[in-house]
Each structure stands twice: as C-alpha cells, then as structure tokens.
Amino acid sequence: MAEYKGLDFLDLLVVLTKWKIFLLILIVSTFVISYLVIYFVIDEEFESKALIIPSDDSSPTGSISGIMKNLKDLPLGLGGSSKSASTDLYITIIYSRSNLENVIKKFDLLNDYNLNSMEKAVKLVSKKIEAEVTDEDAFEISVRAKTREKSAEIVNYLLEVLNQKVIELNIAKSRDNRIFLENRYAELKENLRIVEDSLQHFQESTGLYEAKEQLKLIAGTYTELETKITMKKIELEILENMYEKESPQVDLLRREVSLMESEFNGLKRNKNEESFLLALNSLPENMKKFLRLYRDIEIYTAILEFIVPIYEQAKLEEQKNIPVLQVIDYGVVPEKKAYPPRLLMSAITTLIIFLLFASFLIFREVFRNSKNPKVEFILSNINFFKRR
C-alpha cells in the first residue's frame, strides 16, 4: 500500500463536497443571523454633506492684505493669505471643544448616544464629523447622525457657526490693525507738526528759505530711500501682527529692511567716490540741519499718504458683518442610510465563519489520514477526532 503523502486540491474539494449540505446550511444561517443582529443591534446613521469654496476673504489676514495690494506705487509685495490657511482655520473651528460641546447640547446628542459623559460625547461626535479638502480644492463637511433630519440640521448649523466665527475673527483682527494704525497715524501727525514748526523756526532764525539745487537733489535722494525704509518697517509691523514672527513672509521682509538700511547708511557715508552726492557729514551745519528737517517733513508726509487708506480700510473691515463663506451646497436630508452596510458586513461575517469551518474540516481530514506515529498516538488518546 502506497504511503500517504497528504491532500491535494482535488482532495480538498472532495472534503468540502462531502460536507456540502452542512456548509450550505451554515452559510445561509450565518448570513441571516448576522444580518438580523446587525439590523437590531447596530443603529442606523444618516449622512449629510455641505460644500464650500475657501476664499482669502474668510481669513483674518485678508482684509489688510487686500488694501495693501491696491497701493500700486509702493513696493510692498504683501500678498493675500493662501486657501490652505482658510481651510486650516475651518478645521480648527469645527473640531474645537467648545464647538463640539455646543453641537452636543443643541441637538441632544448625549441622549441619542446614551452617554452621560461630555468627554466621551466630544470624542464620539468628533468621529461623526468629517471636514476635509476635496481633490477639486473645495472644502467638504460631512455629518453622520441617527436621524435623517438631524444630520442635515447639524451640518447646516456648522456652516452657520463657521461663518460667524470667521466674521468674529476678521473683526478682531481688523480691530487690532485699526488700533495699531490709529496709534501710528496720531504719532505721525504729531511728528509732522513738530518738524514743520521746527523748520519754520529754523528758517526764521537763519534766513535760509531757499536751498540750492544740489541740496534739493541730496534731500530728494535721501528722502526717497528713507521713506521706503520707513514704509517697509510699517509693513513689517503689520505683517508681524498678522503672522508668526518667525514665518517665512516676516523673515523675508525683515531681511529686505536690513538690506535697505545698509544701503542707506552707505549712502549717508558716501564711500563711493564717483557719486555726485555729498555725504551728510561734509555739509555745513546749517545746511545739514535744513536738510534733515526738510527730509523729515517729506518722509512724514509720504508715510501719512501711505497709512491713511489702510487705516480707513481697517475701520471699514471692523464694521463688516456680512457672510464670508462661499457655500456651494447646503446640507440636505439624505434619502438612504450611510451606516451600517448590512449586506457587506453580513457577507464578511459569513465568509469568516465559512473559512473557519472549512479549515477545521480539512485539518480533520488530514489528521484522519495521517500515518505519523505521533498523530496516531494523539488520536488514540482523545475522542475529539475519533475515527468513524
């Protein structure tokens, strides 16, 4: 008699065929029972979705950036905030603890999920809400709830809260900018008044009412460069108020200011022998003082022209209370449930049970036909695999 070498594929089919009635009953009964268990034990959930388009206006940094981009004659280069900043802000607001607690209280979700702990409810509800950027760069909010109506109500409530919070943040940021610009505006006006009075007193005491052409040229060159530096510094202060001080935008502008200051200091020392400008230190004392006063007046006047429209815009932005979200789709009452997928879950459960029993039958057959002495010893001492 040939030695037994194990089961091949056909042998496995023979084993399964021998138990086909049992396996068929097992498959049908498992599928039906698992479906009924899922139906009665796992609660249905319905999903509603809303879609919005992120915009720069919905970022707290957008208001001042917008007005600064309109100042065409100034080398500002301050761009608006990116859409990623807006979507990051949306996600932060939606998943904030205060917002989730408000959702739980407003829609009585503690009762819906049979919970008595707000901490557990916050964790659970945060999983029922999905907020993400789509492949088309839109922003989608999805909410699952136990009833059709509640899923739509929650997602639309989130849109309402999101819009209101963004408006509040914009107003707060505009208020900060307005206060900053207001202080700078008052300071500049006072400085300009003092310099104008000083120039008038100087002219009356020295009789120097008209400067020579070269002096005007020197004053104009110094004034233009120093005005640019001062405006850049104001822009840097505004940028530091809107972004982190170590952000790339702030760091780039800070280096630009430093470079311009180095250029200006070199111009004042006038180390370039080919330059037609005189160094400030080489001028007579009266001429030097006149030049400084004249230059200060020009600088303060130019800065006031620069800062006034930004200041006025900040005051307008502070009063804004209009919707900022561009909503494409509001949440609607869903027609079908989103969870649980009963057929899929029942099919997976049935497949797992079938594989377990099929494996058991195959191993049983292997043990029955094995000539290994150790296996024969085991079979002779237990009744579980007793031969028929």
Q: Are 311 and 178 in contact (CB under 8 A)?
A: yes
User: How crowded is residue 217: how many other Cβ atoms within 10 Å of its Cβ?
Assistant: 14
Residues contacting residue 342 through CB under 8 Å, at least 6 positions apart = 35, 38, 39
| Distance between first and last Cα of the chain | 21
* Residue 244, both tokens: 């982190």
CA distance 171 to 180: 14
Whether the full predicted model's pTM is greater than 0.85, yes or no, is no
Instruction: For the chain, 388 residues long, give each residue's pLDDT as a single digit of tens.
Output: 444 455 566 767 777 788 888 889 988 998 999 889 888 887 888 999 999 988 765 555 555 555 455 444 433 334 444 567 788 889 999 999 999 999 999 999 999 888 889 999 999 999 999 999 888 888 999 999 988 999 999 999 999 999 999 888 888 888 888 888 889 889 888 988 998 888 888 777 776 556 545 555 556 666 777 778 877 887 777 777 767 677 777 788 888 888 887 877 766 665 444 443 444 454 556 666 777 787 788 888 888 888 888 888 888 877 776 777 889 999 999 988 877 788 888 899 999 999 998 888 877 777 666 666 665 666 566 554 444 4
All structural domains of the chain, each given as residue ranges with its CATH number in brackets, are 9-39+340-360 (no CATH), 46-170 (3.30.1890.10), 171-319 (no CATH)
E strands present in 262-362:
326-329
* Residue 263, both tokens: 């250029």
For residue 340, whether the previous peptide bond is cis, meaning omega lies within 30 degrees of 0, is yes
Residues contacting residue 265 through CB under 8 Å, at least 6 positions apart = none
Determine how β-strand 326-329 pairs with β-strand 46-53.
antiparallel
CA distance 129 to 95: 8
